[in-house]
Amino acid sequence: MSPPGRAAPAYRDLLLRLFSLRRMGVRLELERMEAALRAVGDPHRDLRFVHLAGTNGKGSTAAFLDAMLRAAGHRTGLFTSPHLSRFTERIRLGGAEIDPSDVVRLESEVRARVTVPLTFFEMVTLLALTYFRERGAGVVVLETGLGGRFDATNVVLPEVAVVTGVALDHTEYLGDTPGAIAFEKAGIMKAGRPVVATAPAGEALEVIRREAARRPSPLCLLGRDFDLVPDGDALQFRGLGAPAVRVPHLALRGPHQRSNAALALAAAEMLDRRGVSLTPGARVAGLAGCRWPGRLEELSSTPRVWVDAAHNPAGAQALAKALAEVPFRRLTLCVGVLRDKDAAGILARLLPLAHRVIAVAPRSARALPAADLAALAPGAETADGLAAGLARAQIGLGPDDLCLVAGSIFLVGEARELLLGEAADPVPVGDPLGLAAAG
């Protein structure tokens, strides 16, 4: 793949054109997407899918599934959002990002045939589905962008649907109660197709059960029908009437990743039953070899700098629990959030762990100013951007201390560019929601 930062001007022009689609905002309906798909020959009808929705964890669960499928020899498509540094991260075939030249070509072809106006995320979804059919993807792991019921991806008939979790986020679009949000996520369930889900508390669980029964869709719940439990120095997957699978190692850190891996293993079992072969060995190899940037990821060992894409209170709570398993003397938190996020809720989960807090503004037009964020964290310092924040954080950072960058996906992408030299697009395209200038 040619480095996007050095791509031809056509790629830059494409990004600017896609970026401009954000003026369409968020339009939660499926009619435009269905019309656009018809115009390009309904590529989704020639593909097999695993469809994932959830407030948190769907990206990691999707990555686990993709890794297991590839370990089993399947030619996979993987569609996720948002990206960290490059638009091409969103569309992967066999683990490799789509080449910028293919994005340019496909967008030109689609634009010539589709007359209905599309949002940013609708166009990206259309490009992905067209690419996956063109390249003969055997199984596509497809992540929703927002909600589920009216998400642009909800045009597919999946082999199995996965609901990774329910928490309050994007409440202006999905509703302001766990039950309302669970209803939107449950919209990806399809009659007769199995559903693998976490068991959220209270009304959200009742909604998940009710919606599965209404279709009907066979429902498999984490903790009731399957689980990933300690087994000496390893883990063991149990349930669903299948032989137990011993998992010596997970590539991704934290107890929340054990839940994500359990969901992925349950989905793998359902896929295997539906004729998509996934041997126990392939499942174990995929879990051990999975790579998913920005999820409790170590970017530097000296000094110790980690990043995590915790961008809502539920994600911050999962991060806090994961940090309880990480040895460090003192924690410096370099944090930045978008202004439409629950900054106070995020900080409430992380501040008790932090010895020092440095507030920065993510690289986004929707960033909460560093001073406004610092006002929510007594004693917090501010820095003019992430580079300055990291420089300040490293002053006095001992070998047993940890610097953690968290609070926004945009911030994580910037950290990876600064510390790893990760290639970045020539222009930022934004988020999957199409919001006028989600992290």
Q: pLDDT tens, 34-86? A: 999 999 999 999 999 999 999 889 999 999 999 999 999 999 999 999 899 99
The confidence score (pLDDT) of residue 6 equals 45
Work out the percent of the chain whose per-residue pLDDT is above 90: 79
Helix count and strand count (H, E) for the chain: 15, 17
pLDDT digits (tens, 9 = 90+) for 144-154: 998 899 999 99
Strand segments, DSSP code E, in 202-347 are 219-221, 226-231, 234-239, 242-247, 297-301, 304-308, 331-335
Q: Is the pLDDT of residue 334 over 70?
A: yes
The confidence score (pLDDT) of residue 433 equals 44
Q: Is the pLDDT of residue 4 over 60?
A: no
Q: Is the pLDDT of residue 110 over 80?
A: yes
Q: Indicate the average pLDDT of the chain.
A: 91
Instruction: Give the whole-angstrom CA distance, residue 399 versus residue 328.
Output: 9
pLDDT digits (tens, 9 = 90+) for 178-236: 888 899 899 999 999 999 999 888 899 999 999 999 999 999 999 999 999 999 999 99
Instruction: Give the whole-angstrom CA distance, residue 67 versus residue 133.
Output: 20
Tell me the β-bridge partners of 235. 230, 247
Tell me the β-bridge partners of 256. none
| Cα distances (Å, whole numbers) of residue 287 to 9, 63, 265 | 39, 9, 9
Q: Is the pLDDT of residue 31 over 60?
A: yes
Q: Is the pLDDT of residue 432 over 70?
A: no
Two tokens at 96? 């490799």
Residue 377 neighbours by CB under 8 Å, 6+ apart: 335, 347, 351, 357, 359
Q: Which of 418, 296, 308, 421 is nearest to 363 (CA)?
A: 418
Work out the percent of the chain whose per-residue pLDDT is above 70: 92
More confident residue, 26 or 424: 424
Other CB atoms within a 10 A radius of the CB of residue 354 amount to 21
Instruction: Give the whole-angstrom CA distance, residue 381 versus residue 391.
Output: 13
Main-chain phi, psi angles of 227, to 5 degrees: -165, 165
Instruction: Give the whole-angstrom CA distance, residue 12 versus residue 426.
Output: 6
What residue has token string 């499928």?
69
Structural domains of the chain in order of their starting residue, each with its CATH number: 4-289 (3.40.1190.10), 297-420 (3.90.190.20)
More confident residue, 256 or 71: 71
Mean pLDDT, range 85-97, rounded to an integer: 96
